[in-house]
Amino acid sequence: MTIAVGIVGCAGRMGKMLAKAVMDDNECCLSGGTENVDKFVGQDIGKLIGTEEIGRRVLDDTKELFNVSDVVIDFTTPKSTILNISVAKETETPLIIGTTGFSSKDDEFIRESVDRTVIVKSSNFSIGINIIQSEIEKISGMLGSQYDAEILEMHHRNKIDAPSGTAIDLGKAIANGRKQDFSEVARFIREGEIGKRQYGEIGFSTLRGGEIIGDHSVMFTSPNETIKFTHNAHSRSIFSDGAILAAKWSINAKAGLYSMQDVLRIS
């Protein structure tokens, strides 16, 4: 069976890569894409992404896209994604979410919206990151708070949220391993005379510049040693490949909220 996959925000950098990855996958076909920018609406998606015309025009009607798709992939913005979740719920179409920067209110809305459809939500669809996240949770439980935990992330200059969703998820993995409340131990800002580092806190450092796709490092440091996990994304294709894997998996899943670790069976 060929899976019809729709792409929300198909004219963006990630949207174009997702559309091309779907077209290159022999188990999938591109059902269409949407954009909210007038200059893209009506264009042939194939031409938009730099290939030959494929007879699929860019739509501005999200519901139309969901109606002709078996599953939809959304790597846009929190505001757009929240609207698309309502459409996914109405049409009972699985939705793969790679958007980051959601508020706690947004997250609550997402959790409440999966009674009739499948949502796979991940801050990072890289297989490597998800394996590291799983291992970090185990290791942080063994090391405990006597090892200081720090997370460093760097992304391209155009990324609009900070820290990255991946960095936050890595921090939550550390807190889960230690059986801590993440909101109580996360330290996002250090400036001025802040006093000595508190035991048990999880520190975050954010860098932005150039065209860095995504670099993440997690460090556990004691007086005698440092244990370091590092992941560097060399191509955005790791995200599109993972999203398509999740899209295929979602077709046979029961209604509910899932992560990429569920897809990879490592959670």
Active site members: 155, 159
Q: Is the dihedral of CA 237, 83, 10, 256 positive or negative?
A: positive
Q: Tell me, what CATH number does 146's domain have?
A: 3.30.360.10
Structural domain of 35:
3-125+236-264
Q: What's the token pair of residue 117? A: 């459809």
Looking at the fold, whether 98 and 150 belong to one and the same domain comes out as no
pTM score, whole prediction: 0.86
Residue 4 phi, psi (nearest 5): -85, 115
Task: Measure the CA–CA gap between 113 and 172, rounded to whole angstroms.
Answer: 23
Q: Are residues 193 and 117 in the same domain?
A: no
Specify the pLDDT at position 229.
Answer: 97
Q: Packing angle between helix 104-111 and helix 78-91, nearest 10 degrees? A: 10
113 lies in the same domain as 140: no
pLDDT at 267: 62
CA distance 261 to 127: 9
Each residue's pLDDT tens digit in the chain (267 positions)? Answer: 799 999 999 999 899 999 999 999 999 999 999 998 888 999 999 998 888 889 999 999 999 999 999 999 999 999 999 999 999 999 999 999 999 889 999 999 999 999 999 999 998 999 999 999 999 999 999 999 999 999 999 999 999 889 999 999 999 999 999 999 999 999 999 999 999 999 999 999 999 999 999 999 999 999 999 999 999 999 989 999 999 999 999 999 999 999 999 999 986
What single letter denotes the amino acid at residue 170?
A: L
121 and 191 assigned to the same domain:
no
Mark whether 114 and 241 lie in a shared domain: yes
Q: Are residues 181 and 217 in the same domain?
A: yes
User: Any idea what the CATH number is for the domain that residue 90 is in?
Assistant: 3.40.50.720
Please tell me whether residues 110 and 13 are part of one structural domain. yes
